A and B are shown apart, each in its own frame.
Chain A
Amino acid sequence: MRIIDYIRGAKSSLQKFSDIQAVRGGSKIKLLLDHAWCHFCYGSNIDDYILGGMYRMAGLERCDFLSNDRRYKLMAKYNPASALPLCDQKPQLYRHLAAYIRRQWCNPCDCSYEEFAAFAKAVPRFLVKPSNGSCGEGISVADTTGWDSTRLRDLYQQLSQRADRPMVEAILHNHPDLDLGNASLNTLRIITLRHLDGTVEVVCAVLRAGQGDTITDNTATGGAVYDVDLGTGIICNYGWTSHRRDIVRHPGTDIVMPGRQVPYFAEALDMVRRAMAELPEVRWIGWDVAITPDGPAVIEANTAPCNHALQYMHPDRGWYGWVKREMKK
């Protein structure tokens, strides 16, 4: 990372502290020191402190806060290292959960040119994803419509030699009810937990929707997150972005989000329960599930899901202690 990026990052972080200070008053230095204290004692990062509302919490509540470092601790404890490649390496996951992927894909690093060409012929416009990427980083769209074999072979060679071992997959489309005027596929993040007796519990679900022309729905790229009620599949509260926590209309549109029904929601929950059963070693997964006109499709399985879906979106309790307690049942 270049120095200029560090400076930009620090400037943006300081701006976040200034925003809080403007609302709650007090000294910015105290806030920064308190943030440093939280980082040391509770393993929080700046998003935990500001977006997760840690700055508002009493000491005992902070002890229970599911912070950034703690989610990695949970992952290390409950998701064995031997099972991680199956979830984190997309080609392996796609092969293992073929019934739930519901789209064509191919891995240029592991397939012949002929197989890649056959894929490109069937799906001329496709997504290129790093095999082990996260937060939507490194994803791009390739359009090979009308390409001759020379160009296609060049692309194949370029992809197969890339260090991030990208894979290519068909672009899925949103269900019409989830078409929110943005370019990206909007996905549900569903967090599941497996108890000691093997029963799978769905802990929470949120809808992540991108904004404008970005091709991913992550908050890091301007997307918004909305809490979905597990009983009804309805968006039931304000949404939030990385800057605001009171989103009612989806950013850049007039679409009112609370009260919106997520289609095929019960099917999506059922699907992740069944998919979890096929990963018996893993106890804690954040599933990304797209809702297409034909039903839900697994996009990926995260073994260390970001804490925004759980802790930031459901701040009424500290989830770290809760997860530890549930894992013992």
Chain B
Amino acid sequence: MNPAVILKALSRRYSQLSEIQAIRGGYKPLIFADYLVCNLLNGSTYEDYEQLGLWRMSQRERRGAYTTRRVDTVNNRYNDRQRHLCLSSKKAQYELVGQHIHRCWIPTWLCDEEEFKTFVSRFPRFIVKPDGGMMGQGVRIIDLTGATPGAVTACYQQLHSQPSHLLAEQMLANHPAMQFGNEGLNTMRIITLRHLDGRVEVLCAALRVGSNGSLTDNLATGGVAYPIDPCTGCISGHGRAHDTALHVTHPGTDKIMPGHRIPHLHQALDMVKQLAADIEGLRWIGWDVAVTAEGPVVIELNTRPGCYSLQALHPETAWYRRIKQLMKS
């Protein structure tokens, strides 16, 4: 690796520490040293250090925190590698989950022009996603309403020839109670863990809502995550975005989020529990589930769900330690 690039990255991190220093005081070089130690020992990125509150934790608590590197550790230890690699393709996921997808889709790199035209005739406005994409990258909407046959053909040829395989999917609409003034589909991230005896436990559920006109609800694209209480089905606390701010009203709207009831939550939890019990080789899954007017729909499953919905929204628990404990039972 180029030393100049490393130095530039370190220098950027150093300047970012001003925000932490403003809150906690102390000397910036010491905070920087602490960040580097935390990175080495606990596998935390700068975002983890800041947003998961690692800078406030004792060494013992840091050892138990679920950080970015530990996301991979958990995945490698408890999920079958082949299964994980296979399911990094959305096409493979959709085939595995079957009818719980509740939407039409076609792999544009495999289908022929006639199949694509039939799909477009049914769904002239559709969503396009990279087959192996993550964090909402590369997701866009294509609208071929009223397009000429030539335009449809041109679109097919363009999608078909993309080196990053693209899936074309029917667009889903949020349940009326899941509309928060944003454009995209809002999804729940539900994390399930399968015990040794086959029992499936839901560790947490969080609602992610997009903002700033973003098409996706991922935190990386400006979304906000709100914790959901699985017993009551209500949003139970502040929302957190990719900064340290806490949100009571959803950004850009006057919609008050805590206390908001998620429709069909128990149905969604039962669905992912059943699916998690049936999928061989994966003990640790993060499910993205949308709620439409008809009920819950699986959007995708993640074999290495990020640490944010657990460690940032529920900071009282040292999740890495807890996951290891639960996996033994």
Identify the A interface with B (CB < 8 A): 23-26, 53, 55-61, 64, 229, 231-232, 234-238, 245-246, 248-249, 256-260, 316-318, 321
Say yes or no: B57 contacts A232, CB within 8 Å.
no
Distance, CA A257 to CA B246, complexed state (A): 18
Say yes or no: B248 contacts A232, CB within 8 Å.
yes
Say yes or no: A23 contacts B317, CB within 8 Å.
yes
Is B263 engaged at the interface, CB distance under 8 Å to the other chain? no
In the complex, chain A residues whose CB is within 8 Å of the CB of B238: 236-237
The number of A-B residue pairs with CB atoms under 8 Å apart is 93
Say yes or no: A60 contacts B57, CB within 8 Å.
no
User: Given A234-B258, A248-B229, are A259 and B24 also a contact pair (CB < 8 Å)?
Assistant: no
Distance, CA A26 to CA B59, complexed state (A): 13
Please provide the 4 A-B residue pairs with the shortest distance between their CB atoms, ordered closest to farther: A259-B259, A258-B258, A248-B229, A237-B237
In the complex, chain A residues whose CB is within 8 Å of the CB of B317: 23
Residue of B nearest to A245 (CB): B316
Most interface-central of A56, A59, A249, A260 (chain B CB within 10 A):
A56
A231 touches which of B56, B64, B244, B248 (Cβ 8 Å): B248
Q: Beta-carbon contacts of B232-252 to A below 8 Å, as 1s and 0s?
A: 101111100000101011000
Query: Distance in Å from the Cβ of A64 to the closest Cβ of chain B?
Result: 7
Say yes or no: B259 contacts A260, CB within 8 Å.
yes
Say yes or no: B259 contacts A256, CB within 8 Å.
yes
Residue of A nearest to B58 (CB): A58
Is B183 engaged at the interface, CB distance under 8 Å to the other chain? no
Residue of A nearest to B231 (CB): A248
User: Given A24-B321, A25-B321, A249-B232, are A236 and B56 also a contact pair (CB < 8 Å)?
Assistant: no
In the complex, chain B residues whose CB is within 8 Å of the CB of A318: 24
User: Given A23-B317, A321-B25, are A238 and B236 also a contact pair (CB < 8 Å)?
Assistant: yes
Distance, CA A64 to CA B318, complexed state (A): 22
In the complex, chain A residues whose CB is within 8 Å of the CB of B58: 55-59
Identify the B interface with A (CB < 8 A): 23-26, 34, 53, 55-61, 64, 229, 231-232, 234-238, 244, 246, 248-249, 256-260, 316-318, 321-322
Distance, CA A58 to CA B235, complexed state (A): 30
Query: Distance in Å from the Cβ of B320 to the closest Cβ of chain A?
Result: 11
In the complex, chain A residues whose CB is within 8 Å of the CB of B23: 317
User: Given A24-B321, A231-B248, A236-B248, are A57 and B56 also a contact pair (CB < 8 Å)?
Assistant: yes
Residue of A nearest to B227 (CB): A238
Query: Distance in Å from the Cβ of A102 to the closest Cβ of chain B?
Result: 29
User: Given A232-B248, A248-B236, A249-B232, are A64 and B57 also a contact pair (CB < 8 Å)?
Assistant: no
Distance, CA A236 to CA B321, complexed state (A): 28
A57 touches which of B57, B231, B246 (Cβ 8 Å): B57
Residue of B nearest to A260 (CB): B259
Query: Distance in Å from the Cβ of B253 to the closest Cβ of chain A?
Result: 13
Say yes or no: B259 contacts A232, CB within 8 Å.
no
Residue of A nearest to B316 (CB): A245
Query: Distance in Å from the Cβ of B247 to the closest Cβ of chain A?
Result: 9
Say yes or no: A26 contacts B60, CB within 8 Å.
yes
Distance, CA A279 to CA B31, complexed state (A): 41
Say yes or no: A234 contacts B24, CB within 8 Å.
no
User: Given A57-B57, A316-B53, are A237 and B321 also a contact pair (CB < 8 Å)?
Assistant: no
In the complex, chain A residues whose CB is within 8 Å of the CB of B244: 316
A258 touches which of B231, B235, B316, B321 (Cβ 8 Å): B235
User: Given A232-B249, A258-B237, are A248 and B57 also a contact pair (CB < 8 Å)?
Assistant: no
Query: Distance in Å from the Cβ of A60 to the closest Cβ of chain B?
Result: 6
Distance, CA A321 to CA B229, complexed state (A): 34
Distance, CA A14 to CA B235, complexed state (A): 34
Say yes or no: A248 contacts B232, CB within 8 Å.
yes
Residue of B nearest to A317 (CB): B23
In the complex, chain B residues whose CB is within 8 Å of the CB of A246: 316
Residue of B nearest to A61 (CB): B56
Query: Distance in Å from the Cβ of A240 to the closest Cβ of chain B?
Result: 10
Query: Distance in Å from the Cβ of B45 to the closest Cβ of chain A?
Result: 18
User: Given A229-B248, A236-B258, are A256 and B232 also a contact pair (CB < 8 Å)?
Assistant: yes
Most interface-central of A229, A236, A237, A238 (chain B CB within 10 A):
A236
Distance, CA A46 to CA B59, complexed state (A): 21
Distance, CA A317 to CA B25, complexed state (A): 11
Say yes or no: B259 contacts A234, CB within 8 Å.
yes
Distance, CA A53 to CA B318, complexed state (A): 12
5 A/B residue pairs, CB under 8 Å, sorted by A: A25-B321, A26-B60, A58-B59, A229-B248, A238-B237
Distance, CA A36 to CA B259, complexed state (A): 39
Query: Distance in Å from the Cβ of A19 to the closest Cβ of chain B?
Result: 12
Most interface-central of A249, A259, A316 (chain B CB within 10 A):
A259
Distance, CA A56 to CA B317, complexed state (A): 10
Query: Distance in Å from the Cβ of A232 to the closest Cβ of chain B?
Result: 6
Distance, CA A64 to CA B237, complexed state (A): 25
Distance, CA A58 to CA B54, complexed state (A): 9
Query: Distance in Å from the Cβ of A206 to the closest Cβ of chain B?
Result: 14
In the complex, chain B residues whose CB is within 8 Å of the CB of A24: 60-61, 64, 318, 321
Residue of B nearest to A322 (CB): B23
Residue of B nearest to A26 (CB): B60
Query: Distance in Å from the Cβ of A250 to the closest Cβ of chain B?
Result: 11
In the complex, chain A residues whose CB is within 8 Å of the CB of B24: 60-61, 64, 317-318
Say yes or no: A258 contacts B236, CB within 8 Å.
yes
Distance, CA A53 to CA B248, complexed state (A): 23
Residue of B nearest to A255 (CB): B232
Say yes or no: A60 contacts B231, CB within 8 Å.
no
A259 touches which of B56, B256, B318, B321 (Cβ 8 Å): B256
Distance, CA A318 to CA B55, complexed state (A): 12
Residue of B nearest to A248 (CB): B229
Distance, CA A316 to CA B238, complexed state (A): 13
In the complex, chain B residues whose CB is within 8 Å of the CB of A249: 231-232
Distance, CA A246 to CA B34, complexed state (A): 30
In the complex, chain A residues whose CB is within 8 Å of the CB of B322: 23
